[in-house]
Amino acid sequence: MTTLSVASNQSPTGLDIHAIRQDFPILAQQVNGKPLVYLDNGASAQKPVAVLDAMERYYREMHSNVHRGAHTLGDRATVAFEGARETVRAFLNAASTRQIIWTRGTTEAINLVANGLAPRLRAGDEILVSRMEHHANIVPWQMLAERTGAKVVPFGITPEGELDLESFDQLLGERTRILAVTHVSNALGTVNPIRELVAKAKAAGVITVVDGAQAVPHYQPDVQALDCDFYAFSSHKLFGPTGIGVLYGKEDLLNEMPPWQGGGEMIERVSFERTTWNVLPYKFEAGTPAIAEAVGLGAAIDYLSSLDRPALEAAEADLLTRANQLVETVPGMSVIGTARNKVPVISFKIEGLHPSDIGTLLDQQGIAIRTGHHCAMPLMDFYGVPGTARASFAFYNTQDEVDQLFTALQKIQRLFA
């Protein structure tokens, strides 16, 4: 067995991870009598004090409803809420805040687009999706297909877990109307060549929808450079609160799309004869929005911007390298998803052990991972497994924690496999 070297809190990139960890109070606790090692960031990431404080300050000092304009608190809340929208716009490099629509998360954002594109679809039209999508980027399209007579067409992936571009080229055809694809795979960690796919789809007149849920915690996407029509993400995976997410869209398409829900905020004028819609982005934001959550997401992005993001990326790459190096120290362990370009995620199996048992045994040692199908059942079918164990890292994880994971896996394998 390879001996594990003693790792320190100092990342090889020179970042002081120990200092960064102080910003995430939840990490400094014991779970089952052991220091918590949180490696389930793909499911949801932890929140820095900056986010907790911003939300508390919002509720203590400025809460009221937004866009009512009647009094000072209402103005403060509106300024904070719309300020967060501007922060998201800058984060994505979108041209205008009219293109930034608040949703409950990635799932709602994709459902909104699917609903909005319904009038464009005819029977026999095709919606191209990859075989590595999360259910949130499959099921809304199946529901849309059901409504319109269109067809969901999956394109292939390679055994390494990269998109099969030949399959994509073959299936992108005359009937294709929509391409829905993930920027980064949640179950495999693969980073997809979105720019290339979008360029090909656009050349064929196809609308492009990118699921950015797993990309934004690791990269700052530039929606103008990607040139996609829609880009969706969730705040809670980006170190912000739950309950809010973002849909970015091209303005001409957003203007063309019918509203998603009816109610207050989204109207210009209501009468029983004729109701007209509000302008973007409010047309898609019926009802009182998640104001504190928007403020919290803005604070999460500001916090990230205050860090050296290239250094964070390098530190994450080092975590993945270390994890990959240690795989061979666990007999019978194999990684599913070995793409050349990956975020720090390893999905794995160990011969003789059920993934859920691996999860439970790790939890007893304070180590949190996720096990199961990761809401990507077609992908699990492709690999012929019911599920995997998945460790997903964030920049606040240390090399030491990677070592602890593998020490624990070695022990579990020895005792139970």
Instruction: Name the residues annotated as catalytic.
Output: 375
Residues 90-109, interacting with ligand 7TS (CB under 6 A): 105-107
Residues 72-91, interacting with ligand 7TS (CB under 6 A): none
Helix (H) or strand (E) holding 303: helix 291-306
349 touches ligand 7TS by CB under 6 A: no
The Cα–Cα gap between 97 and 248 comes to 9
Nearer to ligand 7TS among residue 77 and residue 163 (C-beta): 163
Q: How far is the CB of 246 from ligand 7TS (least distance, A)?
A: 11
Q: How far is the CB of 211 from ligand 7TS (least distance, A)?
A: 5
Is residue 88 within 8 Å of 297, Cβ to Cβ? yes
Nearest partner of 192 among 203, 184, 202, judged by Cα: 184
Residue 107-136 contact track with ligand 7TS, rule CB under 6 A, x = bound? x--------------------------x-x
Nearest partner of 304 among 51, 54, 66, judged by Cα: 51
Of 234, 278, 371, 410, the residue at the interface with ligand 7TS (CB under 6 A) is: 234
46 touches ligand 7TS by CB under 6 A: no
Measured distance between the N- and C-terminal CA atoms of the chain, rounded to whole angstroms: 16
Beta-strand relationship, 370-372 and 207-211: unpaired
388 touches ligand 7TS by CB under 6 A: no
371 touches ligand 7TS by CB under 6 A: no
Residue with nearest beta carbon to ligand 7TS: 186
CA dist list (Å): 402 to 21, 214, 357, 370, 398? 15, 20, 19, 15, 7
Q: How far is the CB of 136 from ligand 7TS (least distance, A)?
A: 4
Beta-strand relationship, 230-234 and 207-211: parallel
Residues 182-221, interacting with ligand 7TS (CB under 6 A): 182, 186, 211, 213-214
Q: How far is the CB of 163 from ligand 7TS (least distance, A)?
A: 14
Question: How is residue 122 written in tokens?
Answer: 């005819």
293 touches ligand 7TS by CB under 6 A: no
The Cα–Cα gap between 335 and 255 comes to 44
Of 339, 370, 388, 405, the residue at the interface with ligand 7TS (CB under 6 A) is: 370
CA dist list (Å): 329 to 368, 390, 413, 415? 20, 17, 10, 15
Amino acid code (one letter) for 83: G
319 touches ligand 7TS by CB under 6 A: no
Residues with Cβ within 8 Å of 46's Cβ and at least 6 positions away in sequence, in order, are 24, 26, 27, 38, 239, 394, 396
368 touches ligand 7TS by CB under 6 A: no
344 touches ligand 7TS by CB under 6 A: no
Amino acid code (one letter) for 347: S
**Binders of ligand 7TS: how many residues, by CB under 6 A?**
17
Nearer to ligand 7TS among residue 108 and residue 229 (C-beta): 108
Is residue 411 within 8 Å of 1, Cβ to Cβ? no
Where does this chain bind ligand 7TS (CB under 6 A)?
A: 42-43, 105-107, 134, 136-137, 182, 186, 211, 213-214, 234, 370, 374-375
